[in-house]
Each structure stands twice: as C-alpha cells, then as structure tokens.
Amino acid sequence: MHAYLHFGVRSFRRAITYRAATLAGMATNFFFGLVRAMIFAAFYEAAVAPPDMPVEQAVSYVWLVQAILGLGFWPFFSDPFIADIRTGAVAMQLLRPVDYQGCWFAHSVARLLQMTLMRGVPIGALAMALGFLAPPPSWESAGLFVLSLGAGMVLAVALAQVTGAIAFWTLDATGPSGLMSVLTMFLSGMLVPIALWPAWLAEVAHFSPFPGLTDTPLSIYLGRYVGPEALGAIGLQWLWAAAMLLVARGLISRGFSRLEIQGG
C-alpha cells in the first residue's frame, strides 16, 4: 500500500510542476465557462414550458463542468502507461515487485487530483466570487458532492484503464481512446445537463456508467439529488467503478499473457 501511495505522490508532484500550462488551461476553461453560460441563458429566454431545471442551476452546472472537466476527459489523453504498451517499456513493469494495475491506478488518480485541485478549485472559487456559480444549497449537499466527486474520479480512472488495456491488442490506443472520449463527453452530461435531454436519451445514459463522471456529482452539488437518492447515486458510481476495475484487471492479465515485446 505504501508503495502505491508513494508512487501517487510522485506523480502528483510531477504534475504540479507545469504551472504556466495550468494557468493557460485555466484561462481557456474560464473562457468556455463564459461562452456556455451566455448560450444557455439565451436558450432559456425561448423556453415554451420552463424545464424543471431553472436557468440559475443550468448556469451553475456549466461552470461546474469547467471546474471538474478533467474527470470526463483527461484520463484518456497522453497516459504514459498506454504509451508504455506501444514502446514495449511495459516489460519493465513485469520486473517490479508491485502490481501493474495498482501503479497505473495511483498515477492516474494523482493526476486527476492535481487537475481538480489546481484547476477546478480556483475556477470554481472565481466563478463563485463573480456570482456566476451559486454555492451548494446545504452543507449536506456539499459533503455528498465531495464524496460523489471522489467516486467519479475512481470511475474515470477505471474506464480509462479498460480503454487503455485495448492497446495490448492494437498497440496503439489512440482510436479506441478517441471513441471512448466521444461517449464520455456526451453521455456524462458534460455538454448538456441530462435534466435537459429528451427522456429516451436520458434513459439510455442512465443505463451506462458515464453520468457518474459529471451529471451525478453536479446534480448532488445543485441539490437535485438529496438524502437517500444522493446516497443511492453514489453507490451506483462505486458499483460501476468496481465493475470496470475488474474488467480492466481481466484485460490486463490476458494482455500480459499474450504480450510480445518488440525488440529495439
């Protein structure tokens, strides 16, 4: 356990070194927040029957998406563990006295934590200070939001591992990762809150793990899910996360059993 913790801390430190990149990324996220908030506000002007999500909640949702963007998105890109599979460096992992999936997990969670803390918290705080983002309606909602966000991180890493493990067969996971990020971006509710979707499409999303990456934590933050409903939603996130981690484990062990390292 200690080894994985140590590994995670190292990944976290490496990630916080690139401050200029973080700042530029934050500025871009902030800009997207401004644009999307204005678009949603303009759409709401023409609401025939007001949707059950009021405009203030939709705008808060948009800003929260910019703050926790990394969750639905980041784990799929530039993952050094996936690159290792292509280059053959993954063979080194087999020599180590620690579990491969465990190291990968520690590394990815650390990166996500860095993203959320260093990008998300300042963006959220700034949006709140400027009055764009409303605080959670109660302390209970705030606490449950943090729990749900944690579950969402584990789920995000699990999904990225399932996708990345495909590289054991295809060597290059860019294509699968790209397709997976399409599914994620749409079905997680990153682009449009699920509350505003047509009913049949929302139904489809709720049978998938993806809402757990964005829509679930944000609905809890906004107080749309409270009490037992919120706890149930968090339980579902963990269930999906556990299932995906098991699938990834199966894929990785099968991948290793047929692994051929290309020389050179």
137 versus 178: smaller Cβ distance to other proteins:
178
Phi/psi at 49 (5° precision)? -110, 125
DSSP-assigned letter for residue 173: -
Applying CB under 8 A, the site for other proteins has a residue count of 38
Query: Quick check: 98 and 4 in contact, CB under 8 A?
Result: yes
7: nearest Cα among 89, 90, 107, 83: 107
Q: Rounded distance, CA 229 to CA 247, Å?
A: 27
Residue 1, interface with other proteins (CB under 8 A)?
no
Structure tokens, 38: 């204005």
Residue with Cβ nearer other proteins (6 or 18): 18
Contact between 119 and other proteins per CB under 8 A? no
* Contact status: 126 vs other proteins (CB under 8 A): no
> Are 152 and 238 spatial neighbours (Cβ–Cβ below 8 Å)?
no
Task: Select the residue interacting with other proteins from 1, 20, 95, 129 (CB under 8 A).
Answer: 20
| One of 54, 175, 235, 250 touching other proteins (CB under 8 A) | 175
Q: Of 251, 253, 215, which is closest to residue 233 (Cα–Cα)?
A: 215
CB atoms within 10 A of CB 131: 7
Interface region with other proteins, contact rule CB under 8 A, candidates 26-34, 63-71, 88-96, 154-162: 26-34
Q: Looking at 97, 131, 198, 264, which residue binds other proteins (CB under 8 A)?
A: 198
Q: Does 87 bind other proteins (CB under 8 A)?
A: no
Cβ distance to other proteins smaller for residue 44 or 238: 44
Q: Does 199 bind other proteins (CB under 8 A)?
A: no
From candidates 21, 94, 117, 204, binder to other proteins by CB under 8 A? 21
Q: Is 138 in the site for other proteins (CB under 8 A)?
A: no
> Nearest 5°: CA angle at 62, between 58 and 67?
140
For residue 242, what are the contacts with CB-CB under 8 A and spacing of at least 6?
A: none
**Residue 143 corresponds to which tokens in the numbers above?**
């606490």
Instruction: Identify the residue among 16, 27, 121, 261 touching other proteins (CB under 8 A).
Output: 27
Cα–Cα dist 47/110, whole Å? 42
User: 30 or 104: whose CB is closer to other proteins?
Assistant: 30
**Residues engaged in binding other proteins (CB under 8 A):** 20-21, 24-25, 27-28, 31-32, 34-36, 38-39, 42-48, 51, 170, 172, 174-176, 178-179, 181-182, 185-186, 191-192, 196-198, 201
